[in-house]
Structure 1
């Protein structure tokens, strides 16, 4: 199922957060898509009050929408344990036409990888001589699996040491046997008895031949492991080579591994340095989840994003240029956004994004559940300052009243509680206050930042600290104009703090005199409708 991230703007306010949640809910119930609301920063006190009041979880925090390995389709891994015989791995690779395997421990964490070439090399090097097998410690289980064997006597779990084949005279065979060797032999009872007497460790009886009682008793006395196998002696030698555990074949050191959280741009850079066909992919726990090849990153799906309550790159999540924007639902001026394909862009000159989302609910004949209706109502009350903002429209009022009825809340009582919770500056740092509700705009190459704080009390000495902080922000981030609106909701006015190199332009915009980096605008409570437009007009006429 396609995942779609629904995101409000940076430094999110109540409308941004609640609209993302509500629209994700709408998408899930009406279209059945995996819509996930996300936030780009910490929620403010007002929003926390709203979410807690209605029992709604806050959206997950994301830092960017750059495409990650987990966002693209890669191959399912062919996974084996380290004791798996080469025979089993080779046959599975041939059957599934896969050229690279991953080998894991008991917790499914990656130990190493091997290619078809690695297995072929190991097979041919060990098949030159049965003595080569002395380098390997082969689990009994591997021999049983590979040679369709049966254990007659078992005193060890692994076979290791020199392997001899009884394909010559008895005297010749016995002259070569040393204590601890492994002998592959057919139905030659005389050699079997003599080999046991000479101290061999194990007998591999080929051709599914039966074992004489005398041999069995002697083997028990000397604690000799005996395995009976189906193939003849020639095939047994060949297949025994394929019983070698993968742990001896795999590449364990200097592995180039990608995690599901790695970004595709970083992956591309790494791939250019290596000529490997496949790269293992592990999750955050180190468990293997796939194999990644160059073809997977040539034409990958970008992350799907729906933007609500904003339409400018400067306010969007980092990496938005690399994402696939599906929709924009907004109520602000149209800014600098560009897309590489047609999208649904829905913009209405009303007080809150949540009002637009309410309209979409109505168009689809759907009614939000009470807690979703509650947060949508709260978003409208927040953005319209309980209908006092000049941005408020009759549709905002109608939508809020309808949603309040569904949520079973009293608008005035709830609004007062919400603003009381949200306007307290107690315990907040200067940075937290400044970025409570901050937006950035670019107007004719002017970089402008406007923050807004609703407060029922005079900030007092905090003003100078805020101005000092703003000076630092202006210098660090290169703003031409930086404003902070200290909005009194009850008395309907805003004291505005200013820093920047364009004092005359701001004074002209609002027809005021700026003293001590501050000026007051009565009846001005909307950044969108009463603060930004005069600045835009002043810049355009400059």
Structure 2
């Protein structure tokens, strides 16, 4: 597995979440030449973020659905394979040369056909036969010539697979003739040395092929007779015992391969793969993609490795807001400006949590701390995150550090922060282009206090009219979200960045919102004068009410 470190913000990402990931990854990559840092996102960019990315000329970060280890993270890549029609000897040579225990057999296009394993080799090579039984194997004459490094003296060998009846000329002419009577000559493959009498009898009987071993020559008369009879005559320098063994290895690899439960999808989770592989007799399996093409090999020892993906969290620290499978990852750092939730790690980490209005502000200070100056695009990205989260410096969460970093970044980006901020909010109003569900869930965060869970979403607008028109549908959607997640309540904070006030659409336990003192202007809608920060104003108020009720 590579050593990439994934940097990402919370689910339902806002502008600060995505922009801080982009900006911090850029800084980390400047400071490190050995470890690649990859910015990611845990959801689709909202309209505002999309506008910012387009304005800056920056692509959206890679979408990260989960961080759990999958087979493709553990497998051996660039594996050796053999084609199904290749002789088994080729697979064995590869296994010995590469010191590997299994080798996939593939069709053209690298699609999996079977697997050569020790089990399949023993099944083929160590057949137990009675004295009366014949040694037989399905081979192709083309493969036979290849493995014997033979020379065709007569006949026309082909690539068709035949079930051949192996005979060895170790008896007299009379005994050979009697033995041949009990066989079908057209399926006989004879191995002999300098027994010209046996060769003549075999040609007269019309055997399928004759292998003359030990560098012997059958003579011109035998060659002429074989040509006339249509018998394939092959000469090899291998001695008869060697040739006999190699003859068995001329079987097409596909016919000697195991089939059935031999493959595993690269996307399968490690936990599932362990159950599948450890529950079989296999030491390893072929890893395949959606089209059954071989992409690697995974073994039992691979699945038992303690490998975890490395991550850096920005703009959040609670597992409920983070990527699926976070418990399987190794957290290296956290950069955040929110309350510290239920968070723990196995080893010490860098944890930078500052009471600023934006995580992008923290990232900007780190550029300054390392004497680094972001380029124009990155400066605009970071500035956008600050202006978004501080609502153009109007939020009570805004600090002098936010203003200072915004001024520095604006100078690099060549924009006026106030003018650019208003342009950003006006151009990216989240209301018009989103349906009710998306509008609520674009920036929805789940919180918990004790055993109680609730959600608070937030959107910024320049006027309340459209929200009032859609309030009934939005309240219905909030109730649906509350029921599906067993929340105590679900709320939507609608903030007017021009007036500095908010409306709260609320569905759930009304005694909680009643205790806030916000006046209800219509059913389920409350006026929150002077409230524009979810983090610093609304959330502490709601948490305090729930705590008091538990006491």
What TM-score do you get using the length of structure 1 for normalisation?
Answer: 0.92
Shift in Å, 1:91: 4.3
Aligned to 1:473: 481
Aligned to 2:280: 274
167, 173, 176: which one aligns with 1:173: 176
Maintained 8 Å contact 1:126/1:132: no
Structure 1 residue 519 and structure 2 residue 526: aligned? Answer: yes
178, 192, 208: which one aligns with 2:215: 208
Structure 1 residue 341 and structure 2 residue 347: aligned? Answer: yes
Structure 1 residue 42 and structure 2 residue 48: aligned? Answer: no
Stretch of structure 1 that moved more, 234-243 or 325-334: 234-243
Q: Distance in 1 between matches of 2:482 and 2:68?
A: 28
Stretch of structure 1 that moved more, 40-49 or 517-526: 517-526
Q: Distance in 2 between matches of 1:74 and 1:112?
A: 18
Q: Deviation digits for residues 416-469 of structure 1, max 9, x if unmatched?
A: 221112215224211111112111111233322111111123123201111121
Divergent runs of 4+, >6 A: 126-131
Stretch of structure 1 that moved more, 435-444 or 343-352: 435-444
Q: Give the alignment of 1:185-334 within 5 angstroms.
A: 185-253=192-260, 255-334=261-340
Q: Give the alignment of 1:27-66 within 5 angstroms.
A: 27-32=28-33, 33-66=35-68
Stretch of structure 1 that moved more, 39-48 or 197-206: 197-206
Q: Distance in 2 between matches of 1:239 and 1:73?
A: 33
Distance 1:2 1:210, change over 3 A: same
Aligned to 1:375: 381
Shift in Å, 1:27: 2.1
Shift in Å, 1:494: 0.4
Q: How many residues align?
A: 539
Q: Distance in 1 between matches of 2:376 and 2:69?
A: 35
Q: Deviation digits for residues 254-276 of structure 1, max 9, x if unmatched?
A: x1422121111222333453343
- What stretches of structure 1 of length at least 5 have no aligned partner? none
- What stretches of structure 2 of length at least 5 have no aligned partner? none
Q: Give the alignment of 1:132-171 within 5 angstroms.
A: 132=134, 134-140=136-142, 142-158=143-159, 160=162, 161-171=164-174
Shift in Å, 1:401: 2.3
504, 507, 530: which one aligns with 1:496: 504
Q: Distance in 2 between matches of 1:173 and 1:504?
A: 102
Distance 1:202 1:297, change over 3 A: closer
Q: Distance in 2 between matches of 1:234 and 1:67?
A: 50
Distance 1:400 1:121, change over 3 A: same
Q: Give the alignment of 1:115-130 within 5 angstroms.
A: 115-125=117-127
Q: Distance in 2 between matches of 1:465 and 1:499?
A: 12
Shift in Å, 1:519: 1.6
Stretch of structure 1 that moved more, 291-300 or 33-42: 291-300
Q: Distance in 1 between matches of 2:458 and 2:243?
A: 82
What is the RMSD computed on CA atoms of the aligned residues? 2.5
Aligned to 1:19: 20
Aligned to 1:486: 494
Q: Distance in 1 between matches of 2:511 and 2:205?
A: 106
Q: Distance in 2 between matches of 1:84 and 1:132?
A: 25
Distance 1:514 1:275, change over 3 A: farther
Stretch of structure 1 that moved more, 236-245 or 353-362: 236-245
Aligned to 2:112: 110
Aligned residue for 1:125, secondary structure, equals coil
Q: Deviation digits for residues 150-186 of structure 1, max 9, x if unmatched?
A: 2334512247333332222234434526542333222
Q: Deviation digits for residues 495-520 of structure 1, max 9, x if unmatched?
A: 1112221x344333346457521221
Maintained 8 Å contact 1:352/1:383: yes
Shift in Å, 1:63: 2.2
Stretch of structure 1 that moved more, 301-310 or 287-296: 287-296
Distance 1:122 1:504, change over 3 A: closer
Stretch of structure 1 that moved more, 144-153 or 476-485: 144-153
Q: Distance in 2 between matches of 1:246 and 1:330?
A: 57
Q: Deviation digits for residues 386-415 of structure 1, max 9, x if unmatched?
A: 112121122212222222232233333322
Q: Distance in 2 between matches of 1:130 and 1:323?
A: 62
Shift in Å, 1:234: 3.1
Q: Deviation digits for residues 351-405 of structure 1, max 9, x if unmatched?
A: 1111111111222222222222221111111111111212112221222222223
Q: Distance in 1 between matches of 2:265 and 2:502?
A: 50
Q: Distance in 1 between matches of 2:431 and 2:10?
A: 22
Stretch of structure 1 that moved more, 326-335 or 212-221: 212-221
Q: Distance in 2 between matches of 1:323 and 1:439?
A: 22
Q: Deviation digits for residues 62-109 of structure 1, max 9, x if unmatched?
A: 222222112235587552222333334334434544333321212222
Distance 1:412 1:540, change over 3 A: same
Maintained 8 Å contact 1:54/1:371: yes
Aligned to 2:514: 507
Aligned residue for 1:379, secondary structure, equals helix
